[in-house]
Structure 1
Amino acid sequence: MPSKSAIQRARRDKREGKSPSTQAGEFVREEIEHVREGKHGARSTKQAIAIGLSEARRAGVDVPAKGKAAKKSTAKRSTAKKATAKQSAARQSSETKATRSRAATKALKKEGSAAASKRALSRQGHEAASQRTAADRSAAARKAARTKGAAGRSAAAKKAARTRAQRAGH
């Protein structure tokens, strides 16, 4: 269950016109914190991110499912949905849901917390960025600049200037 503060931050992001993935980032950040605190572990950084995205979807953030598998499953689901609606309601009792939830939590608690380390997150970020085209990254940066606001842009420019000055000094 996501915290109220994460939900509020995501709603604020939505009001500010930020993308669904930015809104979902609040839930992912919270999940990473949970792994770091030891509430539960994660086998990989991707798993921790996936849990956060799942929480975001449950909270109503419009994050699309990624990849080819998602496209296939939605096509299959729409035709099979009507036929199996009654069957699944009878079959999946609250007992089953509770048992499955307990099993998932128990499995996560056995995992480590290295997946939420700064190094692991950095590696994951670099890998994800390398999969995207330069045009994609550029468009994302332009949108980020648009939704940042004047104060945010000013702060980012100052930070960039400091970084350039630091690198010139080395």
Structure 2
Amino acid sequence: MNLYFRLVWLFLWRIRHCKGIGFLDSSKIDYRVLPLDCDINMHMTNSRYPAFMDLARTYMIADMGLMKKFLKMKWMPIVNASEFTYIRDIKPFEKFEIETKVVGWDEKYFYIEQRFTTARGLHCIVHVRGVFVCKGKQVPIATLVKEAGYHGDTPELPPEIVKWKQFLQLKKERNM
């Protein structure tokens, strides 16, 4: 229930106060771990990370100034894959920040990195692969980048993303 409150708060208040960032810049949003975000080990439960990441990616789209445009075009973001590296736990009532940025794209997917940090340091790094869809069809990456107003060179994917892509392809081939 508290994530619905946070989603409403995001749309009613936080999105109105976006700073405005470039397509490849980092978006940052902060939250606090509430008791309902915790598991029996008294830290933020692993299932909350993806939910907070959804909120942070939504905020990033708004921070880029693309929310109204994408909603008008009926583009919906879809996560295709994600990988998490947990480093240390986040304690109850601790304030944390999620830094979200587009790290690159290929012919089919865009790739995002999300980092959870507190005053104690880095807690989790997550990579997300996704697409946008409209009326059941994928929006071509070239169209997405153009509509986002980005005109620079395609950034080189970080080595960890390249290895992860290879791993995902191997999983796909072995399970067909």
When normalised by structure 1's length, the TM-score is: 0.31
Larger Rg, first or second structure (1 or 2): 1
When normalised by structure 2's length, the TM-score is: 0.30
Larger helix share, 1 or 2: 1
Greater relative contact order, per chain length (Cα 8 Å cut-off, separation 6+): 1
Larger strand share, 1 or 2: 2
